[in-house]
Structure 1
């Protein structure tokens, strides 16, 4: 057999093997790269879904992540069956709770374990005697607390309709839990644990506000919007798309206010976040109040500053308003939390009513749950904030308005 030295044996086979080797190596490289990118994407998606997120739309709110707690308390109140005719029967509560899986045991004489998906039957049964969940969620999700521009109905009567018809000697407390909508886990936990007739304030720069408001309304909780306002510690140079500032023109101020108001629907009022400088400025405050009055909303002043002009300016523009009697911010010491809440109870007993604003930290929420189950709280009614707002009619509360 002759051999051509210009074409040695095996040359084609070697070249072919080298070609296949390069192709395989490149395929392996691209496969590894694809797996890496896919893994990173899955990690980002699941980490956002599983971990409570903090809104990037504003820098004015911060709420720490909360952990699940268990609170066990015996149910001693045996007078539930004697509540007014608007009370929801225990069996109805049990059936409804069984369907939703939110209450472990509604045995009146038993004990209840509270977790992040439970709420206390003792509190819930007692408070549902004021406003039933069916009334709040009827009419295909209509929120009785919400009124829009152009409503021809007398919204004073609408407010009055959902307030308790009780003896004026019975102390009433409006409990407002603020700073919600930022932490997903914290918001869910607050809605689950807090009783009906609590008032939940959602940050205007929060996340999924309409979803949270709808969920709270179904549980019989009132909802309001919390808007950041300029404080004395903030300079005009600090810019944030949500903060209302005193040196803004009327047009800029109203534009920013309407942007916040438009981030959610079906809430009954507005409250401030900080804002000592803003609320002490006559012109800025009046512009905001006029807009809120047109929208048939009420305003809650958290009572943190004695310089606020809420009491003077709100009646001038026919804006329903309220000023908190107590503000409970971040507290780690549970004894101090208990003392603050005890002070709120004392105010209610002396004056007949009280409004407390509590920031939704886990320690505060736990303190509220324990406080509401105390024996000395049995004769106090928790009412929605709108039941204690004042109108321009010489500070008359809505439940005192004659038919």
Structure 2
């Protein structure tokens, strides 16, 4: 009997112990186990020991960095770099007096570019009119001769930038009164324009335009074409405009067919007028450019003589003489001549201008034809 009782009571005892120590009312339900880790607060890091500046090399001493907000220097009175107190925000150029209406436009220093005359674009900075109405034509113009009663001649030398040696020779030998025009395809055209302006010269940017014998005569991948819509030609024109900064206007590179197509030309000249530039066109490829420029209110100049149509010294001399005679026939107007830079043309220009003053004539920048004021 004792054995039977023990066997009967054993399961009951196990169940009682399980209910006391392992009872789980949610047994069989889904559950998850999460480890809870108690982190002790870290002690604050010790401040870094300041490193004394190296005063043994003054050129390496750390200079205080100016505080800048949104690209504008912030100046605080007293301590040059305090972080509290009144703030004075100094806008570059804000202290300069704005030019009054009718006053001559202030000119940028030779070689410098006025940022107020630039507009950001996918092709780089493009020329534009400033908010106060100043035009690149006026700001970057060379001052015209003070005497305006005698015969005046404006000579434009184009095609620069393509041949490095020829360009360097032209910029070295040409007088600053001669305006120079650069191909946009020159890899260093921005530097060349800055170099020309640094020497006191006026610069023009040439825009490739379709000639009559295109594509046999192809001015390059950015050529303005009569077969393209205006939107595509405007993009190509802006590519040329963005190749450099600081020029007074634009001249065509080739372009006789495009200049003869009024519908294609008109939006391009409106664009130049909107940006405050002038347009200069050679006599042998002018087409309807002068008429379209007038309709677009675009300052322009058309050469009366194409001087270098042959590589003959006598023919070039005759062209320069004709240009001078045109100026003397009507001293109230400036006679414009276009010539391409070659060793021969540079030699003939030197010989011609040597006695120009003795013959009663003077050189003038091409911007003077458009009435640009030049530096005040």
Alignment TM-score, normalising by the size of structure 1: 0.58
Quote the residue 2:323 is aligned against: 344
Contact persistence 1:324–1:355 (CA under 8 A)? yes
Change (3 A) 1:345 1:159: farther
Change (3 A) 1:274 1:169: same
Quote the residue 1:299 is aligned against: 279
TM-superposed CA distance for 1:261, in Å, is 1.2
Alignment of 1:76-225 (within 5 A): 138=109, 141-142=112-113, 148-155=127-134, 158=138, 162-164=142-144, 166-225=146-205
Distance 2:283 2:255 in 1: 11
Quote the residue 1:12 is aligned against: none
Alignment of 1:302-381 (within 5 A): 302-305=282-285, 308-329=287-308, 331-352=310-331, 353-374=334-355, 377=358, 379-381=360-362
Q: Secondary structure at the match of 2:193?
A: helix
TM-superposed CA distance for 1:175, in Å, is 0.8
Distance 1:236 1:245 in 2: 14
TM-superposed CA distance for 1:188, in Å, is 0.5
Contact persistence 1:181–1:202 (CA under 8 A)? yes
TM-superposed CA distance for 1:158, in Å, is 3.3
TM-superposed CA distance for 1:164, in Å, is 3.0
Change (3 A) 1:137 1:366: farther
Distance 1:333 1:362 in 2: 12
Quote the residue 1:111 is aligned against: none
Distance 2:253 2:218 in 1: 16
Contact persistence 1:136–1:217 (CA under 8 A)? no
Q: Secondary structure at the match of 1:190?
A: helix
Distance 1:140 1:221 in 2: 10
Contact persistence 1:203–1:226 (CA under 8 A)? yes
TM-superposed CA distance for 1:162, in Å, is 4.7
Which of the residues 246, 254, 259 maps onto 2:234?
A: 254
TM-superposed CA distance for 1:334, in Å, is 1.7
Contact persistence 2:171–2:196 (CA under 8 A)? yes
Deviations 1:120-150 (A, max 9, x none): xxxxxxxxxxxxxxx9773772479x77324
Alignment TM-score, normalising by the size of structure 2: 0.62
Quote the residue 2:263 is aligned against: 283
TM-superposed CA distance for 1:153, in Å, is 3.5
Contact persistence 2:108–2:140 (CA under 8 A)? no
Of the structure 1 ranges 289-298 and 359-368, higher mean CA displacement relative to structure 2 is found in 289-298
Distance 2:133 2:358 in 1: 34
Contact persistence 2:226–2:261 (CA under 8 A)? yes
Change (3 A) 1:216 1:143: farther
TM-superposed CA distance for 1:160, in Å, is 10
Distance 1:256 1:369 in 2: 36
